Structure 1
Amino acid sequence: MAAILPKSLNMEDFISACQRPLRKSVRVNTLKLSVDAFLLRAKEKGWQLTPVPWCQDGFWIEADESVVPLGNTAEHMAGLFYIQEASSMMPVSALFMNNPNYDAVLDMAAAPGSKTTQVAACMQNNGVLVANEFSASRVKVLHANIERCGVRNAALSNYDGRVFGAWLPEHFDAVLIDAPCSGEGTVRKDADAMKNWSKSSVLSISETQKDLIESAFHALKPGGVMVYSTCTLSIEENQQVCHHLKETFGDLVEFDSLKDLFPEAEKALTEEGFLHIFPQVYDCEGFFVARIRKTGSATAPEVKKRLGKFPFTKANDKTQQDIAQQLLAALNIELPEQSQVWLRDNDVWLFPASLEPMLSEFKFSRMGIKIAEAHKKGYRWQHQVATTLATGNGTNNVALSIEDAREWFMGRDVRPDVQPGKGEVIVTYANDVIGLGKWVGNRVKNGLPRELVRDKNLF
């Protein structure tokens, strides 16, 4: 650290910053509500917010968590905000600098989903977002967060990120690669982060990062933008990885300066225009962010593809129209324009339309959202219809009391104090959509997926 610390900084401040606990920060999920609406709620709850300068939806937060942790508040469980370290909001802000409209984005190392859900919000659920995670066990967490936050334009995959360059060459307008790293920047969050640190492991992981950044570059369309980021500080895993890309592809690689990303960005700016953030500079985690542009086409590695039979069939116009009409009649919900209905046995799925060109090229583990199961009398609607398509302003709603809402989030059926109805209903609490239920007599049957059920210490 002493060897790579910029002249404007000193080791004493670095060590002191590493020993201070991190400030807690959250990002408003603008797929669910506006920042202004969130500010009003925070004021009602007595939460003290300080804006994060590099993310217009991000805030450092001071809240009394002695009774209810932020993660167990009704607002968090309804997907209105994401608890996300402030510096980790920066890569997505860099990717969407100057507000571009991307139709296809790849998040190469996506779990647990903080940046994936941030990208989806920046895309406003339009286009297609391919969210890849190498670790199979972490894909479940990724999916649960995507589901909670109302993301409907994602396609999930479970591969080593090195496959994308050959399998989906020049398919993406933008690629985010928040690379696996030695994690030197995370010591404020995890005091044990440096226990297994060694120079040899840094050099070893940098070789993997070079493979990943090459793969990401091949997957990028000419003219596309890539952001490479890590939560480490070593030059071998950061600047040198970016320079490796430049040495490999020459003039096809341009580094975009991040000096105008936010006020005082120059405090962390390198001569290349990267952001190399030491923890004492902005009082956050250590981080590295580079924005890279692909200026022309590069020949991608060849691969022999054996995909097997695709198990979904695209619904014909009549079927899609029928499903749309029944959904409108049952729940007063319209199908989004940029989506397509696909069928698998009795299951009805909604895929982002921009995904279709990739379906014959690549195998995904989960695409879009499951909206219904077909049966003899019509369609049985699914949880994600409520969380990704319902606004809460429809007529077929059941508003729960705080006691019933707690029961709901614990996966139990509820008996709201209202006149019983029939069929599926949108379930709300405090005007927020929290799920889909079905009237059975005088109770509403709970449709919350198991991965979203909580069992203690609720709001």
Structure 2
Amino acid sequence: MHQNTYLPEEFLREMQAIMPSGYDISDFVAACRRPLRKSIRVNTLKISVDAFSQRASDKGWHLSPIPWCDEGFWIDADESIAPLGNTAEHMCGLFYIQEASSMMPVSALFNNLEDEFRTILDMAAAPGSKTTQIAAKMNNEGVLVANEFSSSRVKVLHANIERCGVRNSALSNYDGRVFGGWLPESFDAVLIDAPCSGEGTVRKDPDALKNWSKEAVLTISQTQKDLIESAFHALKPGGVMVYSTCTLSVEENQHVCLHLKNTFPDLVSFESLSSLFSGADKAITEHGFLHVFPETYDCEGFFVAKIKKLGRTTPPSVKKRLGKFPFEKASNKIKQEVAHKLYQSLSIELPSQSDIWLRDKDVWLFPSALEEFIGEFRFSRMGIKIAESHKNGYRWHHQVATTLASGAEPNCIELTIPEARDWFMGRDVRPENQSGKGEVIIKLGDDVIGLGKWVGNRLKNGLPRELVRDKNLF
């Protein structure tokens, strides 16, 4: 129990005033002081839910299904030797440690099986829980623009995208308010998990409300209104948007959505989430939004709204100054050469719906759906870097293995657990009685963990710096 959880009296009065009938403030306070249940989401870009469940059972992990996410589970695991984040399964990208309620927005975005999303914007993406969840739902197809305003958090976002084998993303580093003018009516779907006062997060951070004030809530609400308008302009007519926060105040939630409705009265349709999962009615508001208090499902407080755009809007006008795009699309001849050399070296095939782009000696794989945005917007990172060219061919990069290899390729080396520990700590390894030439796919069991290069009997480590760990490994 977090008995020292800070809950300001004014905040509690605000909560009591907006609680649905049948709720009691004492239950709310008790829930806020209860530690969160740990939860994870299986990354289906790497492993099926059934295969992961079997592996978890073998390890003695107990999984309990999360009702609103087919890939989500509450987990009970012994972390006395190594925390879940330092297990081999996590470092291989097989799962993401994600709070249960934060899985709701992406589930809401994809709850209509008739919707097909080729272009999606995740407007406030770091650290990447929802971005990687969206990429898995897209099965790495189409293009996912993942934007983050904080430049320092972009590094964390990229590391998680890289770990989880995402290859259809394009990262950007802007205030989300630019999208409505720069990329109007460009996306089939938009997720805006808006920056907020974090009222729902006290169960994992007892000091989350140390600086809480009503004035701050109202200030943040104005920013959220600007962001939701920008997101709406960026959405194609007929497209869908999910607006979510990890806060509880109506000013940051219902009022923001109603502001959008008042601004575009004939173009906004609220899509009810009452059938998103069994029991959703416990949190449904009069407009069909999910307003989740901590005690409702024993998770973080959260808010989720789904909105459909019924027609065209007039976006704000902007003057674009992009400069020269530093990449050049490869000719068919070069693309065929890269594909041939990659298959010859590692038995890996280039995926469909992707194109080769060149920057000096660097070889990149971009999702084909990204091409319509080139010349319209500046991204900080697009697709995956797969190689560097040199006079004798290509030097392949880490993500070739982790995003394109299945592990069934013949040119693989399986490490022992001690060797894999060294590998994840950034060290070269020397597999016993083995040697070779050139690059090779590195595995731990059936899981691809990277790309190495033989130097005599030593495998040179190709793990990117941001994925290196230094202690408490599996």
1:311 to 326, 329, 333: 326
SS at the partner of 2:451?
strand
Look up the match of 1:132: 147
SS at the partner of 2:264?
helix
Q: Please report the RMSD computed on the Cα atoms of aligned residues, expressed in angstroms.
A: 0.5
String of CA shifts for 1:119-158, please: whole Å, max 9, x gaps. 0000000000000000000000000000000000000000
User: Aligned equivalents of 1:419 and 1:411: distance in 2?
Assistant: 20
Q: How does 1:39-438 map onto structure 2 within 5 Å?
A: 39-99=53-113, 100-438=115-453
2:45 to 31, 45, 57: 31
String of CA shifts for 1:401-449, please: whole Å, max 9, x gaps. 0010000000000001243111000000011000000000000000000
User: Aligned equivalents of 1:421 and 1:18: distance in 2?
Assistant: 57
User: Aligned equivalents of 2:454 and 2:403: distance in 1?
Assistant: 21
Please tell me the residue identity of whatever aligns with 1:181.
Answer: C
Please tell me the residue identity of whatever aligns with 2:245.
Answer: T
User: Aligned equivalents of 2:205 and 2:472: distance in 1?
Assistant: 24
String of CA shifts for 1:147-199, please: whole Å, max 9, x gaps. 00000000000000000000000000000000000000000010000100000
Q: Following TM superposition, by how much is the alpha carbon of 1:98 offset from its aligned partner in structure 2, in angstroms?
A: 2.0
Corresponding residue pairs, total = 459
Asked if the contact 1:157/1:365 (under 8 Å) is kept, the reply is yes
User: Aligned equivalents of 2:196 and 2:340: distance in 1?
Assistant: 49
String of CA shifts for 1:83-138, please: whole Å, max 9, x gaps. 00000000000000123321000000000000000000000000000000000000
User: Aligned equivalents of 2:213 and 2:434: distance in 1?
Assistant: 65
SS at the partner of 2:105?
helix
Asked if the contact 1:101/1:123 (under 8 Å) is kept, the reply is no
User: Aligned equivalents of 1:257 and 1:98: distance in 2?
Assistant: 11
Please tell me the residue identity of whatever aligns with 1:76.
Answer: H
User: Aligned equivalents of 1:398 and 1:418: distance in 2?
Assistant: 12
User: Aligned equivalents of 1:322 and 1:143: distance in 2?
Assistant: 28
Asked if the contact 1:438/1:445 (under 8 Å) is kept, the reply is yes
Please tell me the residue identity of whatever aligns with 2:440.
Answer: V
Identity %: 74
Look up the match of 2:31: 17
User: Aligned equivalents of 1:357 and 1:87: distance in 2?
Assistant: 34
Asked if the contact 1:106/1:175 (under 8 Å) is kept, the reply is yes
Q: Following TM superposition, by how much is the alpha carbon of 1:80 offset from its aligned partner in structure 2, in angstroms?
A: 0.2
User: Aligned equivalents of 1:19 and 1:69: distance in 2?
Assistant: 23
SS at the partner of 1:250?
coil
Structure 1 segments unaligned to the other structure (5+ residues): none
User: Aligned equivalents of 1:290 and 1:168: distance in 2?
Assistant: 23
String of CA shifts for 1:307-340, please: whole Å, max 9, x gaps. 0000000000000000000000000000000100
The alignment's TM-score, normalised by the length of structure 2, stands at 0.96
User: Aligned equivalents of 2:434 and 2:17: distance in 1?
Assistant: 71
User: Aligned equivalents of 2:384 and 2:270: distance in 1?
Assistant: 36
SS at the partner of 2:17?
coil
Please tell me the residue identity of whatever aligns with 2:22.
Answer: S
Q: Give structure 1 regions of 4+ aligned residues with deviation exceeding 6 angstroms.
A: none
Please tell me the residue identity of whatever aligns with 1:377.
Answer: N
Asked if the contact 1:58/1:89 (under 8 Å) is kept, the reply is yes
The alignment's TM-score, normalised by the length of structure 1, stands at 1.00
Please tell me the residue identity of whatever aligns with 1:8.
Answer: G
